[in-house]
Structure formats: structure tokens, C-alpha cells
């Protein structure tokens, strides 16, 4: 038994797993399988990036066509999963429902091979995101459209209208940014569960549980609620001052790796501006976010993260706020599945030690004498 090493709180700065999937670095760069995010963001489709992350290389035309048609053929979710969702309280958060639905899906797909499970889960996650939300709102189930891309299908069903080409482009870009991110909390959670040899649904159910928290994926919803609460750019600086003085965390700021700049936030900020211009919409939300970002940098030197700018993009596209974190999940499931498989390829059970600080040498006292 080796001597126990005391890890820093939150495992800050500790490398706990090798990965070749993606790399977010402190200098503000991000690569998927070695490709700079900016190139993928400017040039690739969501499906191309998903294939890259899953399979490790950019697809040929044939590989991409096969991948796309395979995912489209697997989008329909079995009815028994929806029965579980219908039994849940109507005021549940969509993330709680989604997590439960993925767990239910796992129970009904145990007979599939591991590879079939991976693809089934990835293909069905966007369907579950939309239909879990629709069930909670008392709406009919939406049939997945096999003539639409992942992004178009998701956006169409969530907003109930066909997006124009630029809106679809903007939404798809955000999905690309959400696909994968190194050893973030949910990917780490997935790997811990994978290390027990549990199935991919179990691991991703745990990933969803981790993602819901406001320090992780829940931040995009929380950031949007904050923008609405602030209301105007003129109030941004005072809101920040007051809330920092109360010791509150400001949602959409800060990152464990990116201490100066989150490259995904930069890309999204430009996209938000372009989207508002395209829609000839009031740019108040952009000015508000910009004010807040500057005030935070002046005060605390903490940069905005992806969630900070993805949220107003989703809002501008007319997407319901409570689906922002589920949308994150619909994309990130690709990263989770990749981490799951990478973990299994060189598995070692994650079982750290603790540093026991509790009482010792206690003597049991019978209940009548306490």
C-alpha cells in the first residue's frame, strides 16, 4: 500500500486520467482530437465534430453519411421510457426528468451490444431532451424528423418553428462548443462510474446528475435568469458589486482551467452580436453581458465562460430557459461516451483514499445509558 498523498481541494491541478479526446489549456486554447476549436467552429458540422470526438479522426464523406443515417435511424425513444416520465411531477426540472429517462432507457436496452448502446444513447438524447420537456408542459410528443440534422431537429422541436439558415448556424455552433471539454466534472464522473464496469447509461445518468449543478452545466440557465433579473446594461456594474459584496458567485464567470480567457466564450460573444444583428433585434442583452464582463474583469480578473454567452444566444433563438442545461447534455453526451470508452480501454478502478479526521477509539454505550 503506497503512502497516501494529500490531493489539493477539488483535485486542483492534479492529472487523474490520460486522454486523447480534447484539451483545454490555461493559455485559452481548446482542441478536439488536436484540431483547434476555432477551425471546427468555423468550418465543420455538428455531426462531423461528433464523429471526430467519438472515432478519433475526421470522417470521410462516406463515413459521415453512414454516421448521420445511423443516428437518424435511432432517434425514436421506446414508449416505456415516456411512461416513466409521465409519472413524474409536472413541476420537475427537465434535467431531473432527463436523468431519470436516461436511466430508464438503459434498463430497456441492456440487450444491445456496447457499440449499439453508445449510438442509441447519443441519437436518443436530443429526442429525450425535447420530449421530456414537452411532457412536462402537457404537449404531445414530437416525432423526430429524419430529414433534419441534429441541430435543426432540436431547434425546430424546442421552438416550434423552422429556423432560418443563420439561426441554425448559430445554434449548431453552440452545440459544437458544448460537445466535449477535457476532464470536466461530468466527464470525470462518467469515468469514475465507467471504472466500475457499469454500463454507458449508468455512467451518463451520473454525468447528467453532475451536469445539473449550477457550478457546472446549470450555469447557462442561471446566467440567463441573472440577465433577466439585471434587466438593463446600466444596472450591470451595481448588480455585480452588490452580489460580490454578499459573497455570491456570479453565474457564467470563472473556470478551473481558463483563468484569463475561455475561447468558447469569445466565439459565442461574437456569435451573439451577429445573431442579434441578423434578427435586427434589440442588442440590450449583448450590451448588458459586455458591461458585466468588463466589470467582472476590472474587479476580480475573472473571465466569462461559455455558459455566459451561450445562454443569451439560446434566449435570442426563442428556446425555453429550462431546456438550456438539457441542450448542453444533448451535445455533451458525445464527449461522455468517448470518455466512457477511453476509460474502459485502459481501466483502473477509481478508488482514492480518504484522510480520516473523525473520532477514534470510541467505546459503545448501550442506548439506555446515553
Ligand X SMILES: CC(C)(COP(=O)(O)OP(=O)(O)OC[C@H]1O[C@@H](n2cnc3c(N)ncnc32)[C@H](O)[C@@H]1OP(=O)(O)O)[C@@H](O)C(=O)NCCC(=O)NCCS
Active site residue 307: yes
Cα separation, 97 vs 103, whole angstroms: 10
C-alpha closest to that of 222 among 311, 158, 315: 311
Contact present, 327 and 154 (Cβ < 8 Å): yes
Minimum distance of ligand X from residue 186's CB (angstroms): 11
> Active-site residue among 182, 199, 307, 339?
307
Helix (H, G, I), strand (E, B) or coil at 370: coil
Instruction: Select from 107, 113, 114, 116 the least CA-distant residue to 78.
Output: 107
Half-sphere exposure of 263 (CA within 13 A, CB side): 20
- Cβ closest to ligand X, residue 174 vs residue 307: 307
Cβ proximity to ligand X: between 209 and 302 the closer is 302
Nearest-approach distance from CB 265 to ligand X, in angstroms: 9
Nearest to 336 by CA among 53, 34, 105: 53
Q: How far is the CB of 252 from ligand X (least distance, A)?
A: 5
The one catalytic residue in 182, 255, 262, 339 is 255
Q: Which residue is nearest to ligand X (CB)?
A: 254
Nearer to ligand X, 13 or 366 (CB): 13
The angle at the Cα of 172, spanning 139 to 216, to the nearest 5 degrees, equals 80
Q: Between the CA of residue 27 and those of 23, 260, 263, what are the distances in Å?
A: 11, 8, 9
- Alpha-carbon span 51 to 71, nearest angstrom: 11
Choice between 64 and 302, CB closer to ligand X: 302
**Which residue shows C-alpha cell 490531493?**
7
Has 42 been annotated as catalytic?
A: no
Min CB(276)–ligand X separation in Å: 22
Shorter beta-carbon distance to ligand X: residue 142 or 302: 302
In terms of CB distance, is 105 or 267 closer to ligand X?
A: 267
| 265 Cβ contact list (under 8 Å, min separation 6) | 303, 304, 305, 306, 308, 309
Beta bridge partners of 32: 22, 35
Minimum CB separation from ligand X for residue 205, in Å?
21
Half-sphere exposure of 149 (CA within 13 A, CB side): 20
Q: State how beta strands 22-25 and 29-32 pair.
A: antiparallel
Binding site for ligand X (CB under 6 A): 10, 215, 219, 249-256, 302, 305, 307
**Rounded distance between C-alpha atoms, residue 65 and residue 73, angstroms:** 12
Give min distance, CB of 300 to ligand X, in A: 6
Cβ-based nearer residue to ligand X, 82 or 336: 336
Q: How far apart are CA 327 and CA 220, in angstroms?
A: 10
Catalytic annotation, residues = 255, 307
Amino acid at each position: 500500500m503506497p503512502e497516501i498523498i494529500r490531493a489539493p481541494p477539488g483535485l486542483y491541478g492534479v492529472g487523474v486520467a490520460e486522454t486523447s479526446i480534447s484539451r483545454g489549456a490555461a493559455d485559452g486554447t481548446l482542441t478536439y482530437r488536436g484540431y483547434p476549436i476555432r477551425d471546427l467552429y468555423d468550418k465543420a458540422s455538428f455531426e462531423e465534430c461528433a464523429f471526430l470526438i467519438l472515432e478519433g479522426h475526421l470522417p470521410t464523406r462516406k463515413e459521415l453519411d453512414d454516421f448521420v443515417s445511423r443516428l437518424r435511424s435511432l432517434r425514436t425513444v421506446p414508449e416505456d421510457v415516456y411512461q416513466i416520465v409521465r409519472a413524474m411531477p409536472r413541476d420537475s426540472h427537465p434535467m431531473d426528468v432527463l436523468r431519470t429517462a436516461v436511466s430508464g432507457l438503459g434498463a430497456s436496452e441492456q440487450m444491445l451490444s456496447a457499440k449499439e448502446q453508445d449510438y442509441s444513447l447519443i441519437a436518443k438524447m436530443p429526442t429525450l431532451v425535447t420530449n421530456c420537456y414537452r411532457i412536462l408542459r402537457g404537449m404531445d410528443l414530437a416525432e423526430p424528423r429524419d430529414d433534419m440534422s441534429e441541430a435543426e431537429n432540436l431547434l425546430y422541436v424546442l421552438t416550434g418553428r423552422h429556423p432560418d439558415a443563420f439561426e441554425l448556424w448559430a445554434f449548431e455552433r453552440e452545440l459544437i462548443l458544448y460537445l466535449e471539454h477535457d476532464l470536466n466534472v461530468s466527464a470525470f464522473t462518467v469515468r469514475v462510474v465507467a471504472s466500475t464496469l457499469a454500463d454507458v447509461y449508468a455512467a451518463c445518468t451520473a454525468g447528467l446528475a453532475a451536469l445539473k449543478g449550477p457550478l457546472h452545466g446549470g450555469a447557462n440557465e442561471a446566467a440567463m435568469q441573472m440577465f433577466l433579473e439585471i434587466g438593463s446594461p446600466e444596472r450591470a456594474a451595481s448588480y455585480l458589486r452588490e452580489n460580490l459584496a454578499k459573497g455570491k458567485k456570479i453565474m457564467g464567470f470563472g473556470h478551473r482551467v481558463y483563468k484569463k480567457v475561455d475561447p468558447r466564450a469569445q466565439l459565442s460573444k461574437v456569435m451573439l452580436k451577429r445573431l442579434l444583428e441578423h434578427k435586427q433585434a434589440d442588442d440590450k442583452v449583448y450590451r448588458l453581458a459586455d458591461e458585466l464582463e468588463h466589470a467582472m474583469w476590472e474587479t476580480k480578473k475573472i473571465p466569462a465562460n461559455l455558459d455566459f454567452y451561450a445562454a443569451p444566444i439560446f434566449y435570442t433563438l426563442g428556446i425555453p430557459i429550462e431546456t438550456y442545461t438539457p441542450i448542453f447534455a444533448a451535445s455533451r453526451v458525445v464527449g461522455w461516451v468517448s470518455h466512457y470508452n477511453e476509460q474502459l480501454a485502459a481501466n483502473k478502478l477509481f478508488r482514492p483514499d480518504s484522510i480520516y479526521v473523525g473520532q477514534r477509539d470510541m467505546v459503545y454505550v448501550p442506548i439506555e445509558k446515553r
